[in-house]
Amino acid sequence: PGKNGLNGERSFVMLKPDAVHRKMIGEIMNKLERRGFKLVATKYMKASRDLLQKHYADLSRKAFFKDLIDYMASGPVVPMVWEGLNVVQIVRTMLGETVPHKSAPGSLRGDLCVDVGRNIIHASDSVTSARKEIELWFHPAEVTSWKPCSIEWI
Ligand code: RTP
């Protein structure tokens, strides 16, 4: 174990507009918290097409790129930074597959969605892309890590 008893790894996770519309924000955040990860940044926003095009730049040649940007710009999103041991890989596993019909029950997509074009959540696929995505979506001052404290609250 490294920093804070964990490896201090961070992932960029984003609830997509369909998750917001379907009122799943709490349910999904709850699953990430219960798994053992720590929320260190979040906001609620309508993302600009420019920001979304930068975020999905690797997919710009894909036939579905315009539909993807239209969908992501169609309503508010909830970008987040989660911290914890092997968070990048574990959250990708929790998501299930990109295509919901290949996602096992028990995974977020396997339990909560059916359409690849409405697949509720994004999460970084590597530590390197997490670093880039966190930098794209958050100012450093918006990310606030914390340690468990010993004060008894109740
Ligand atoms: P994400 O980046 O959103 O976490 O998704 P991913 O890694 O599982 O999948 P990726 O290949 O990066 O694709 C990004 C998002 O594009 C949409 N998509 N639509 N119509 C299609 O065939 C298609 N394929 C991908 C999905 O919303 C996917 O999450």
User: Could you tell me the distance, in angstroms and rounded to a whole number, from the CA of residue 63 to the centre of ligand 1?
Assistant: 12
Q: Are the CB atoms for 119 and 8 separated by under 8 Å?
A: no
Nearest CA to ligand 1 atom 4: 122
Expressed as residue numbers, the domain containing 116 is 3-142
User: Could you tell me the distance, in angstroms and rounded to a whole number, from the CA of residue 149 to the centre of ligand 1?
Assistant: 39
Nearest-angstrom CA–CA distance, 30 and 18:
17
Does a structural domain hold residue 82?
yes
What integer pLDDT is reported at residue 1 of this predicted model? Answer: 45
What integer pLDDT is reported at residue 4 of this predicted model? Answer: 45
Nearest-angstrom CA–CA distance, 32 and 12:
12
Sign of CA dihedral 133, 81, 34, 19: negative
* Structural domains of the chain, count: 1
What integer pLDDT is reported at residue 103 of this predicted model? Answer: 98
Does a structural domain hold residue 89?
yes
3 belongs to an annotated ligand binding site: no
Does a structural domain hold residue 148?
no
What integer pLDDT is reported at residue 3 of this predicted model? Answer: 52
Does a structural domain hold residue 55?
yes
Does a structural domain hold residue 147?
no
Does a structural domain hold residue 111?
yes
**ipTM more than 0.95?**
no
What integer pLDDT is reported at residue 151 of this predicted model? Answer: 77
What integer pLDDT is reported at residue 20 of this predicted model? Answer: 98
What positions carry a catalytic annotation? 122
Nearest-angstrom CA–CA distance, 25 and 89:
21
Read off the tokens for 44: 């609620």
What's the CA angle centered on 96, arms 66 and 133, to 5 degrees?
A: 55
**pTM attached to this predicted model:** 0.93
Give the model confidence (pLDDT) of 50-103 as tens digits: 999 999 999 999 999 999 999 999 999 999 999 999 999 999 999 999 999 999
Give the model confidence (pLDDT) of 141-150 as tens digits: 999 988 877 7
For the chain, give the percent of residues with pLDDT over 70. Answer: 95
CATH of the domain at 138: 3.30.70.141
Nearest-angstrom CA–CA distance, 129 and 54:
12
